[in-house]
Amino acid sequence: MKTDILMVGVGGQGTVLASDILCDVALSAGYDVKKSEIHGMAQRGGSVISHVRIGKKVFSPVIPVGSADILVSFEKMEFLRYFEYINNETILLLNEGKIYPPGAAGGEEKYPDSLIEEKITIFKKYYLLNAFDIADKVFNRKVTSTVMLGKLASVLEIKPDIWKDVISAKVPPKTKGKNIEAFDAGYNT
Amino acid sequence: MEKRVLSGNAAIARGAYESGIGLVSSYPGTPSSEITDNIKMYDEIYSEWATNEKVALEVAIGSSIAGTRSMTCMKHVGLNVASDPLMTLSYTGVNAGIVVVVADDPNMFSSQNEQDSRHYARFAKIPMLEPSDSNEAKHFVKLAVEISEKYSTPVLLRSVTRLSHSMSVVDIGSRENVSRKNLDVNIPKWVMVPANARKRHFFVEDRLKNIQTDYDNDILNLASEELNSKKIGIVTSGIAYQYVKEALPDASLLKLNMVYPLPLGKIKEFSKKVEKLFVVEELDPFIENEVIAYGLNLQRLDRSLMGELSVERVSKLFKNIDFGVLRFPSEYDDIDKDLPQRPPNMCPGCSHRGIFYAINRLKLFASGDIGCYTLGLLPPLSAIHSTVCMGASISMAHGIDKGSNGEYARKSVAVIGDSTFLHTGINGLMNSFYNSGTSTVVILDNRITGMTGHQPNPATGISIKGTPAPQVNIETLCRGMGIKNVRIVDPFNVEECLDTLKAETAKEELSVVITNRPCIFADRSVISSPYFVIRENCTGCKACVKVGCPAILWDSEKRLAFIDETMCTGCGLCPEVCKFDAINKLGE
């Protein structure tokens, strides 16, 4: 198995912790794994991207252009920014919850609803879920990323138990139960 | 053996722990900050945030003299600040080992320039190691300590953003027990007066030759050869090695773990085993130039000297050469440029926003500095007009004053954060005071080093470990210098900011204006109930939208402003700029 997973979202959504969890899951399942992301100036409210590469032996920590197997978008429009990474086989997991970019919020630009509708059909397979609503139902917005991990687990060949062990070890102890619920909710959606 | 997935930075910290390093002093800077942020977790290591990189390296030198292995970590431009002690530390050599970690930022994700730190190794005539993943990053700290003590030299360990902020699998070991050496009392070695330094220069040249010879003769096991196809041989190092392995799996490789000095003899031997010899490296042609100068028949690559390499960039470099390389078709065009962007912005509730709003309103030229507040350059605030390096705002404002015979000092301010002020801004302020400057310096004292991840500094009152610590009072410091005009303002009080800036810039004297609100992340207790827009009162004038707060949104259909309650921190800036009493606090 070689799986290149691109996780994209908006700063503050927990994509970094989610991709950390994915790395530990891959290691526990016996794979080599590398991850790359950029932090610093491009933080709060900015577009964030984590490259996670899982396989027998991984070299570059960055997914080459046109090579992503799975694109996980933690926000409804963010996947549109990374088309150079996808190919005809790429699977899309999309949170339909929106976070308005400042331009769209300030009224000068439009949120690209019709472009999203048009572009998701390019993907070989796409799974849509409103992770904000699911997270709100389970606990609150803070478990959105765990809902998305649950959905990701449902398309990867790694046992849910491994995921749950890693999530339990990585999240704040008080929120462990809620995070496992959020994972299951995403997995079963 | 236990394995963990660690970032390059966390792995370097682990390496310091395992190799018995006893002291780490650093100044934060992306992408190096998390090394020392991780070091603080190890109780066996004394760690501290220093006021700047020069101070940090000098602390490390002292520790070495005292017999304890030491390390300092900084970003590439930090090494410019620390270069003064580094150049002479090369002459003195070390007692206990000294490792200087420098993290470059190809592509300038979070930096003001793209300098290649490898030149510092040649400039200072000291060795530089370059790991290619987290496991090597950890292991190379240990190697650096060994080389440092074996040859009596500081050793540079070079990272790049893509290594520091990437994660890969690391073998976890245990800490080496080292006993502290004795205090090194040795006047000819440590006192660099000319008579002693002249002798030490011979030592420096001999040491460099010895290291190079030992590298060539595999006494230092720092180069590895992977022989595959004879058609192409590639000399590479660091993160570039990973791109080459993936893009050109059939090429023969010579991987260099030390990039200065170079094993030119080994490279020559390698070149005889292949038909064509290339160097693949990021940024400057550092290895390439050395190899060509040595006289080897090397094929120069037509490579951009800007930005990061990648698997596809390496692949493209070889596409015109008859070699079976992978292709990376991007089947779909990038459409990011047509989308609404998410530029970085100052956070909701940021204490810098109000004073920038005032600077914008008064149309002042703002000589800026390095930190979160550099983001004040963005519209709608557009209130930063220059940024060069740490501390430059104050000295440049003084130059603006003197270079215009005082004229522009009436229309400009320097803007600097507390951490940057204590880093190197303070020197500029003394210079302005001594030379009868008339500029106005705004110190944004939010009591934290924000941009790099909220590290404490001397103005915070907290140590690196989170315990209470002595606190520098910036107002007292400025008054202590003898500056008369020192004013404290509330940056959320727009009228106060406007009046103070108007009054202080008008004076033909040096003024310091200090803002007194903490970073929203430094003190979460300042968050209060959110504001909301009273729709009946909102006229749609957009005055509140112009403060540039991410929590203030605009409904273009109803032509009304509204506030995202989940983002609003209740800072109270937007009701100040609303002339129609349309913004109120929830529950009031």
pLDDT tens digit sequence for B431-456: 999 999 999 999 999 999 998 989 99
Least Cα separation, residue A107 to chain B (angstroms): 5
Give percent above pLDDT 90 in chain B.
Answer: 87
For A125, phi then psi, to 5°, come to -140, 140
Q: Do B345 and A36 touch (CB under 8 A)?
A: no
pLDDT in tens, B255-300: 999 999 999 999 999 999 999 999 999 999 999 999 999 999 999 9
Domains, in order of start, for chain B:
3-216 (3.40.50.970), 223-317 (3.40.50.920), 353-524 (3.40.50.970), 527-585 (3.30.70.20)
Name the residue among B536, B572, B528, B531 with its Cα closest to residue B553. Answer: B531
pLDDT of residue B329: 66
pLDDT in tens, B178-197: 999 999 999 999 999 999 99
pTM, two decimal places: 0.96
Least Cα separation, residue A146 to chain B (angstroms): 19
pLDDT in tens, A146-186: 999 999 999 999 999 999 999 999 999 999 999 999 999 99
pLDDT of residue B564: 85
Give B493-525 as a DSSP string.
Answer: -HHHHHHHHHHHHHSSS-EEEEE-PPPTTT-GG
Place A42 in a pLDDT band, splitting at 50, 70 and 90: very low
Average the pLDDT over B480-496 and give the result: 97
* Cβ–Cβ contact A60 with B under 8 A: yes
pLDDT in tens, B207-241: 999 999 999 999 999 999 999 999 999 999 999 99
B-chain CB neighbours of A115 within 8 Å are 335, 339
Which of B165, B331, B375 shows the shortest C-beta gap to A37?
B165
Give B201-258 as a DSSP string.
Answer: HHHHHHHHHHHHHHHHTTSS--EEEE--EEEEEEEEEHHHHHHHHHH-TTEEEEEESE
Q: Do B340 and A112 touch (CB under 8 A)?
A: yes
Handedness of CA B382, B386, B389, B390 (dihedral sign): negative
B-chain CB neighbours of A32 within 8 Å are 168-169
Q: Cα–Cα distance between B339 and A102 in angstroms, integer?
A: 12
Which of A46, A88, A112 shows the shortest C-beta gap to B331?
A88
Packing angle of the helix pair B53-65, B76-92 (nearest 10 deg): 30
Average the pLDDT over B55-78 and give the result: 98
Which of A33, A65, A101 shows the shortest C-beta gap to B330?
A65
Q: Do B5 and A84 touch (CB under 8 A)?
A: no
Q: Do A141 and B566 touch (CB under 8 A)?
A: yes
Least Cα separation, residue A182 to chain B (angstroms): 21
Beta strands in chain A (DSSP E): 3-10, 32-37, 47-55, 70-73, 91-95, 125-129
Query: Which residues have CB under 8 Å from B101's CB, separation 6+?
Result: B12, B32, B35, B71, B72, B73, B74, B156, B157, B158, B159
| Averaged pLDDT score across all residues of chain B | 95
Query: What are the residue boundaries of the structural domains of chain A, listed by start?
Result: 3-130+157-172
Q: Considering only B137-146, B324-333, B359-368, B385-394, which range has the smallest mean pLDDT?
A: B324-333
The span from the first CA to the last CA of chain B, in angstroms, equals 61
- Give how far the C-alpha of residue B530 lies from the chain's centroid of Cα atoms, to the nearest Å: 34
Specify the higher pLDDT residue, A44 or B37: B37
Interface test with chain B among A28, A59, A87, by most B beta carbons within 10 Å: A59
Q: Are B416 and B387 in contact (CB under 8 A)?
A: no
Best mean pLDDT range from A35-49, A105-119, B448-462: B448-462
Q: How many CB atoms lie within 10 A of CB B484?
A: 12
Least Cα separation, residue A130 to chain B (angstroms): 18
Q: Cα–Cα distance between B239 and B244 in angstroms, integer?
A: 9
- Residue entry with tokens 């970085």: B344
Asked whether residue B31 carries a pLDDT value surpassing 50, the answer given is: yes
Q: Do B340 and A83 touch (CB under 8 A)?
A: no
SS3 at position B474: helix
Q: Which two tokens stand for residue B109?
A: 């994700």
Asked whether residue B128 carries a pLDDT value surpassing 50, the answer given is: yes
In degrees to the nearest 10, what's the CA dihedral of B224, B229, B233, B238?
A: -50
CATH number assigned to the domain covering A3-130+157-172: 3.40.920.10
Specify the amino acid at residue B382.
S
Q: Do B339 and A80 touch (CB under 8 A)?
A: yes
pLDDT of residue A44: 61
Surface of A (87-106) touching B: CB under 8 A: 87-88, 100-106
pLDDT of residue B343: 79
Q: Cα–Cα distance between B585 and A42 in angstroms, integer?
A: 31
